[in-house]
Amino acid sequence: MKTYDIYFSDQSSSDNKGFSIKTEEKAIHMAEDILAKGGSYIEEYAGGTISVIDSEGVTVWSKPIPKA
């Protein structure tokens, strides 16, 4: 069964949350919430991207993170 995680990246580095979310829809909803609410990852990766990537390494959703 596929799982999904949320990744943050910019030109120099990347991080992921370490989630094993069971559905693509829930993972996308969580990523949209994180993007809307902000926080340390959003600040750190401003100008980069937030993505939902499945356990097979396929990006299923991605959006740019606005610069502050």
| Residue 28 included in any domain | yes
Determine the pLDDT at residue 42.
Answer: 96
Which of 19-23, 49-53, 64-68 is least confident? 64-68
Strand order in the sheet with 49-54: 14-16, 4-9, 49-54, 59-64
Q: Which domain holds residue 7?
A: 2-63
Query: pTM of this prediction?
Result: 0.94
Per-residue pLDDT reduced to its tens digit, 37-49 = 999 999 999 999 9
Question: Each residue of 25-41: b (16+ CB within 10 Å) or e?
Answer: eebbebbeebbeeeeeb
Q: Which residue has the tokens 């990537």?
A: 53
| Residue 10 included in any domain | yes
The number of distinct structural domains making up the chain is 1
Q: Are 7 and 51 in contact (CB under 8 A)?
A: yes
* pLDDT(68) > 90: no
| Residue 24 included in any domain | yes
* pLDDT(55) > 90: yes
| Residue 12 included in any domain | yes
* pLDDT(26) > 90: yes
Phi-psi region for residue 39, left (φ > 0), alpha (ψ -120 to 50) or beta? left
| Residue 68 included in any domain | no
